[in-house]
Every structure is written in structure tokens, then in C-alpha cells.
A and B are shown apart, each in its own frame.
Chain A
């Protein structure tokens, strides 16, 4: 078990290093000159070469690439995430203000996906090919196909048309005004959660069906256990492992999808900050936010692996 943990941690560290290097490389091969983005095409053309060199040096963009990379890593270690080219607010502030909102959306999405997906999957597996099962499967196929940002747009539009309602567009934290905060995060949480619920329902159904065919389930039935107990006590714990894995992998969809869904709902979260930064070619913001998203994704997958090891005695005791 200890060996497994150490190996997992080393792999995660190597991946993290590779991720940071690749972000750095991807963003530095950028053909566009960041100064054009800052000063505009005309301002850039009017600039003296000497000024240009000075500004580049001020921004730390004229140093050799390896040095720039090392400096970036050093800054991160010191908690200095740099500043937006355009807005003057630091990336750290951005994460502080907008991060909680995006995090709430992710947590809400996770809760909805399990609370809605797992019961539906279990009911489906109870009576495969019955009417409720067919209905559940049709719903999951549909929710997997509908793009979250479109569903989000439609919800926003419908609320606007029929109720004249618009959710708050400024940042309101949970501890400031829970009611307003909930209005911000509820929509994106539900839209993202439903799509994940569809995957979880599908996965738990097929895993349960597979486990139900195993010998120990037959034994449980043979000793006269009620069907409900057979499924919930014997089959379900064994079927859950792959569902947990899927839930971790799906977080990648949630993190990526939340960027578009936040845009659709007009939620002032981290995802929208990233989109704005990408459009403005604000390298410092983009590189730090993309790294943050990757770190979260890697972290969650490590957690999933650990929970896997913890839940599966075969791994725990090896």
C-alpha cells in the first residue's frame, strides 16, 4: 500500500512538471507579439526599438526561455502568480475572488451527478429493458448529447422571457449573501450536473448488471436474501469502483465544460476569466490559470486512485 502511494505521488509529480513545461512551451511559441495585444497595432508600430526592448525587459519577456521558466516556477513557489497585462489585478486576487464561485459550481455538479445518477442507474439495473429503464437510458443518451452551454443559454433565455429574471452578474460570495450566491451557481451546477448524472447512471447500470451475474450474487440469492438487499448490499459495493473512476475522469469534462457554461450563464467565475485572458492574449493569466486547472484535475485523479486503493482490499493489502 505504502509503495503504491509513493509510486502514485511520484507519477503525479512527474506529470505536473511535464504539464507546467508544456504550458510554458505552448504559450511561448505564440506567434503573436504580446506587445501588440497590450499597445494595439498602431501603438506598437509607433514604438521605438529601444522602448520596445525596455518594455520587454520590464515584463521579463526578453530573458532566455529556460530562465523565464525557472522564474515562473520560483514565483509560484513564493505564491506570486503575476499580474494581468491589462487589468492590473493580480492572478492571485482573481483566484481568490472568482475561485470560490467556480469551486461551488464543481461541488454542486458533483453532488447532483451522484444524487441523480446513482439511483437512476440502480433502478435501471433492477429491471433491465423495462419501461423505466428505457426511459432512463433515453434520458441519459439525450443529456450526454446536449451541449451544456447551449442548455445554459436556453435556460437563461427562458427565465428572461417568461419571468423577466436575470441572475446576479457581479461576484457575490456564499458568506456575503448565500441567497444571491446560490442564484449564481445553481444554474451552471444543474446543467453540468445533469450531463455527469447521465454518465454515472449509464456506468452504474452496466457495472451493476455485470456484477449481478457473478457467483457471489447467485449465492446471496440462493440463501434466500431479498432482491433489494442482494443488489444494495452485495452487488452495489462491488460495482461502485469503476463508477468512482469515471466520476474522476469526468471532472475533466466538468472543468472544461464549466468554462463554456459559465460564459453561457454570465457567471463571474474563473472560467470566464480564462476565456477573457485567452481572447486578450494575456499570457501571464492564461499560463497560471491553465496550470491551476491542470493541477486540480491531476489532484482529483490522485484522490480517485487513493479512494480506489482504500475501497478495494486487493490493492489495500498488497
Chain B
């Protein structure tokens, strides 16, 4: 802590360096306290890198069929085997990471952002707007996630953007609810009152005073919902209403695998393993971020509440 506050020389370059150092120190402290979360973050980052570098890493073309090598179990030539038309499973899993992560990230960012902005407006403006908005969010939450996503993607078609949109809509009420409660408490703060007293418009106060307080819960929300979004995307693909084939996604691959009478185990196993590892990584990271940013929920705090002798 002392190194962060003490190192503030006037030179811009030095300051940038100390900022980097501060970030590094913060990261190191975070990983020391939340080892699991740091591992989750590292694995998540690795998966993102794999997704971005898919063309460099994938040993073969994920779409190219090879009829001489159909349904081959894992061997030296195809490390994770091949599917019914001889496409390389490893390459498809790697390219699948691209689609799955792209859909999940876009949907979560879109849904959580819209929901959060809406929540800020609800919490700050209150009144009739809030009342009506709450009912709308209740309606959205009255549908089971996957079923709402299925209905929406059925209505607007089954392209990539339709799937993103469908998943994003199911994320809106979560952002709305949580951020609304934050905005409700922030609006009673003296500095918000001061802003109002000095004549700031509602929009200005929301943007400058309320919004910054919502960043931490927003980050927590976004990371926690990444895992959910990945599972919904995979489930949609598995049910045949997600991103249409031949685009390799983890869900599509699982759907392909059960069309066979006796599904080859490698086709059923590896895409699902990829989903599980990714979801696990993001969930662990999300838990760690929540514990750090929202101390009320951290195990350390609960332990303190539980009294020293149980620690």
C-alpha cells in the first residue's frame, strides 16, 4: 500500500511506470488472497488467447472433411480424433472457443450494460418509470433463461447475432435489479444531494455521481454471468437452435455427436470438457472478484462474523 501512495513523482513517464507497478502489486495481492480466482483468471485468459489465435494453433481446417479418416479415435494424426465426416476434433474445439467466447462476451456485455444503465435510471429517477420498469423486468425474469432464449432466437432467426441478442435479453433483468439497488442507496448520499443543490441535471448526476459507484457491482455481475452465457449458448447449439452449423461451436459439436446411434466418446467428451473448464475458470474468477469488491460476501468477512474460534 505504502509503495503505491509514496511513489508519485511529477514526471509522466515515471508515473506511468509506477502505475504499472501499482497494478502489478494489486494483481499480486489479489492472487495471494484468491489463489483459486487467480488460477481461474489465468486459465480464462489462456482460453481467450487460444480463441484469438485459433488460425495459428489449430492443426487443421475445422471445416474440411476428410472421408478417408471418418470417426477415427484420437491418434497421432488427429490428437482428439475426427467426427462423422472426418473433421479434426481438436481444431473444431479450438475454433469453437472463438464462437462460444465471442457470443458469451458480446451477450453479457450487451445485456449487463443495458440492464445496468436501465437500473441506474430506475434507482435514481424512481416514481412511475421505476414501477413500470420493475414490472417489465419481472416479466423477463418470469421465463426460465434457456426457454426465453430459445423463443427469441426462434423468432428472430438463428444467426450469430440472433443468438447474442437472445442471450443478452435474458441478462438484462439481473443487471437491472442489482444496479438499481446500488443507485437507490447512492442517491441518498450527501454528494449526490450537493450535485442536485448546485443545479446539476438528472442526466449529469447519474453519469458523474451515480454511475461510477456502479462499476464494481457491474464487473462482478459481468464475470459471474459469463459462465451462464457460455452454458446457454452451448445448450442452444446442443438443441439445434443456436449458431447454425457448420460453424464449429461446442454446443453444435455435442449435438452432432449424438446423431450417431453409438456416439464416439471423443466427440461427446472433449467439447463438453472445454465448456466445463471455461465455465469453471470464469466462475472462479467471478467469485474472487466478488469477494474482493464486495467484502460483505467474502469468506474472510463471514469468518470474522463467525468468531475467531471457528477460523
Spell out A's residues near B (CB within 8 Å): 11, 14-16, 18-19, 22-23, 26-27, 29-32, 127-129, 141-142, 144-147, 149-150, 153-154, 157, 160-161, 206, 209-210, 212-213, 218, 252-257, 259-260, 263-264, 274-275, 278-279, 281, 286, 290, 293-294, 297-298
Contact = CB atoms under 8 A, between A and B. Distances in A.
Contacts of B150: 259, 274-275, 278
B147 interface: yes
Contact of B231 (A147, A212, A293): A147
Contacts of B235: 147, 149, 256-257, 259-260
Given A129-B311, A260-B235, A157 B139 contact: no
A137 to B, nearest CB: 9
28 contacts: A15-B135, A19-B142, A22-B139, A29-B156, A30-B155, A31-B155, A31-B156, A128-B302, A128-B306, A128-B310, A129-B311, A147-B234, A149-B254, A150-B234, A150-B275, A153-B254, A153-B268, A206-B297, A209-B305, A210-B302, A260-B235, A263-B239, A264-B238, A281-B154, A290-B147, A294-B143, A297-B142, A297-B143
Contact of A256 (B146, B240, B254): B146
Interface residues of B, number: 52
Given A154-B268, A294-B142, A145 B154 contact: no
Contacts of B307: 212-213, 218
B143 to A, nearest CB: 5
A29 B155 contact: yes
Which 3 A-B pairs have CB atoms at the shortest separation, nearest pair first? A256-B146, A213-B305, A256-B144
B178 interface: no
A238 to B, nearest CB: 14
A16 B142 CA distance: 8
Interface in B213-255: 227, 231, 234-235, 238-241, 254
A273 B302 CA distance: 45
Given A18-B136, A147-B231, A255-B144, A153 B258 contact: yes
A254 B147 CA distance: 11
Contacts of A279: 239-241
Nearest to A17: B139
Given A153-B258, A154-B268, A293 B144 contact: yes
A298 B138 CA distance: 10
Contacts of A218: 307
B125 interface: no
B151 interface: yes
A279 to B, nearest CB: 6
Contact of B276 (A147, A160, A213, A264): A147
A293 B139 CA distance: 13
Nearest to A29: B155
A255 B262 CA distance: 28
Contacts of A145: 227, 276, 279-280, 283
A183 B129 CA distance: 51
Interface string B263-284: 1010011001001100110011
A141 B144 contact: no
Contacts of B141: 252
Contacts of A161: 265
A31 B306 contact: no
B157 interface: yes
B72 to A, nearest CB: 18
Contact of A26 (B145, B151, B157): B151
B65 interface: no
B152 interface: yes
A254 B299 CA distance: 28
B126 interface: no
Given A18-B142, A213-B302, A256-B147, 9 more contacts: A23-B151, A32-B157, A129-B311, A150-B276, A206-B302, A209-B305, A253-B145, A260-B239, A293-B144
A293 B142 CA distance: 9
A26 B239 contact: no
Interface string B1-15: 000000000000000
Contacts of B262: 160
Given A149-B254, A260-B235, A252 B144 contact: yes
A212 B157 CA distance: 51
B300 to A, nearest CB: 11
Contacts of A259: 146-147, 150, 235, 239
Nearest to A208: B306
A27 B144 CA distance: 17
B303 interface: yes
Contact of A141 (B151, B241, B283): B283
B142 A15 contact: yes
A209 B302 contact: yes
A264 B254 CA distance: 10
Nearest to B145: A256
Contacts of A256: 144-147, 235
Contacts of A154: 268-269, 272
Contacts of A15: 135, 138-139, 142
B272 A150 contact: yes
A63 to B, nearest CB: 19
